[in-house]
């Protein structure tokens, strides 16, 4: 893994989280030519002009995608890569053509391609051409997963299920995706395959978010939803002994709480486990003010009752403060819902003068 080691040693931004997670796939697909230096876009162009023969070997498309993904983990290299005349054609056009015309795509490439759309094309959100390619490629990847779901690993199924939460993504494909993943999720739980997965919490979280994005109401898709709730409880319990371990990142946590609140999930064991995660995030100051406000609203929507937990939330809020800079970044409706939610869930809040002094200052500014 010379290319990956070179990037690890360079210590550029956002590299390790992506590369470590994708290590097995990148190790399989990255080009092995000694003339390739992943810190230089000229190596991308060298590969295209000297080595790239996709009509003879479809894996060349996989390799070029892997090379672009590795390069794009460094923002400075990514900016040059996205400006390369060879980035759109052949790379993007060939990825799309491959997904459109080839019936059986390597399952590892589906995951790699989806990561590429999130990381590499995610660097160019304001480019309309790349945004169009991004949506089209993600749709085609989801289509392949639905067609060949039985050959997809559970963790990859969960990872690609992110398409179900994307705004503007084809709604019929979202429904089809959840339908395709249902038998595999049920089988993974009944056969206990799920319990062998190292990233069990993340898998269950992604599956829950995807399912709730399609089946928004408490009574919809009860069999699949009930299975995912059991997965969440088992995986969170399995890690509960690690007191300093955060079993999911803040992004996943806040969205999971939101989808549970939306479906009004009322499993007390699950909420008890998630309350521990929330307290851990607050103790480590990993939760932003906005995430705290949105999470609190979701807790109240789900009818979670715990004076102790809401008191902890209030204390965390007053400890972090709510200064002008934070206020400018937050949708003005979010603090209002936060106040209403806390007032509904925590009657003892009336006695907390510091909390109301902070919010009164904010409200007066907005009124003025």
Residues 11-51: tens digit of each pLDDT: 344 455 666 677 778 888 989 899 999 899 999 999 999 99
At residue 353, φ and ψ (nearest 5 deg) are: -65, -35
pLDDT of residue 9: 35
Average pLDDT over residues 334-358: 74
The 10s digit of each residue's pLDDT in 53-70 is 999 999 999 999 999 999
Give the residue numbers spanning the domain of 17. 1-151
The whole-angstrom separation of Cα 229 and Cα 248 is 16
In a domain, residue 321? The reply is no
pLDDT of residue 314: 85
Count of domains observed in the chain: 1
Q: Is the peptide bond before 90 cis (omega within 30 degrees of 0)?
A: yes
Average pLDDT over residues 213-235: 95
pLDDT band at 350 (very low <50, low <70, confident <90, very high): low
In a domain, residue 363? The reply is no
In a domain, residue 342? The reply is no
The whole-angstrom separation of Cα 97 and Cα 206 is 28
pLDDT of residue 183: 96
In a domain, residue 244? The reply is no
| Residue located via tokens 């939101």 | 258
Helix locations, 2-46, DSSP H: 2-10, 16-21, 23-29, 41-46
The 10s digit of each residue's pLDDT in 139-184 is 999 999 999 999 999 999 999 999 998 888 889 999 999 999 999 9
pTM above 0.85, yes or no: yes
Find out whether 128 and 82 touch, Cβ atoms under 8 Å: no
- Would you say residue 366 has pLDDT above 90? no
In a domain, residue 358? The reply is no
Integer Rg of the chain from CA: 23
| Average confidence score pLDDT of the chain | 86
């Amino acid at each position: 893994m010379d290319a990956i080691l070179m990037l690890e040693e360079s210590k550029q931004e956002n590299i390790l989280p992506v590369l470590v997670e994708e290590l097995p796939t990148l190790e399989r697909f990255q080009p092995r030519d000694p003339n390739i230096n992943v810190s230089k876009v000229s190596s991308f162009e060298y590969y295209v002009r000297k080595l790239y023969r996709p009509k003879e070997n479809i894996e060349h498309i996989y390799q070029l995608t892997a090379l672009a993904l590795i390069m794009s983990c460094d923002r400075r290299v990514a900016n040059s890569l996205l400006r390369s005349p060879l980035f759109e054609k052949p790379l993007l056009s060939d990825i799309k053509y491959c997904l459109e015309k080839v019936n059986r795509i390597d399952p590892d490439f589906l995951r790699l391609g989806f990561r590429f759309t999130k990381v590499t094309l995610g660097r160019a959100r304001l480019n309309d051409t790349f945004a169009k390619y991004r949506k089209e490629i993600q749709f085609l990847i989801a289509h392949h997963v639905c067609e060949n779901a039985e050959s997809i690993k559970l963790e990859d199924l969960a990872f690609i299920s992110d398409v179900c939460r994307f705004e503007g993504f084809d709604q019929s494909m979202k429904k089809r995706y959840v339908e395709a993943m249902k038998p595999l999720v049920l089988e993974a739980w009944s056969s206990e395959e799920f319990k062998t997965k190292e990233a069990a919490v993340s898998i269950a979280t992604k599956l829950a978010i995807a399912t709730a994005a399609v089946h928004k109401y408490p009574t919809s898709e009860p069999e699949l939803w009930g299975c995912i709730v059991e997965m969440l409880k088992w995986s969170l319990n399995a890690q509960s002994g690690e007191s300093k371990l955060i079993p999911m990142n803040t992004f996943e946590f806040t969205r999971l709480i939101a989808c549970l609140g939306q479906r009004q999930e009322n499993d007390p064991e699950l909420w008890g486990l998630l309350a521990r995660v929330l307290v851990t995030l607050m103790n480590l100051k990993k939760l932003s003010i906005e995430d705290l406000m949105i999470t609190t609203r979701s807790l109240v929507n789900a009818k979670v009752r715990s004076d102790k937990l809401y008191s902890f939330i209030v204390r965390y809020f007053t400890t972090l403060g709510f200064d002008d800079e934070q206020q400018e970044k937050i949708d003005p409706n979010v603090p209002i819902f936060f106040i209403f939610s806390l007032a509904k869930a925590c009657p003892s809040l009336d006695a907390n003068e510091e909390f109301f002094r902070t919010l009164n200052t904010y409200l007066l500014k907005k009124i003025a």
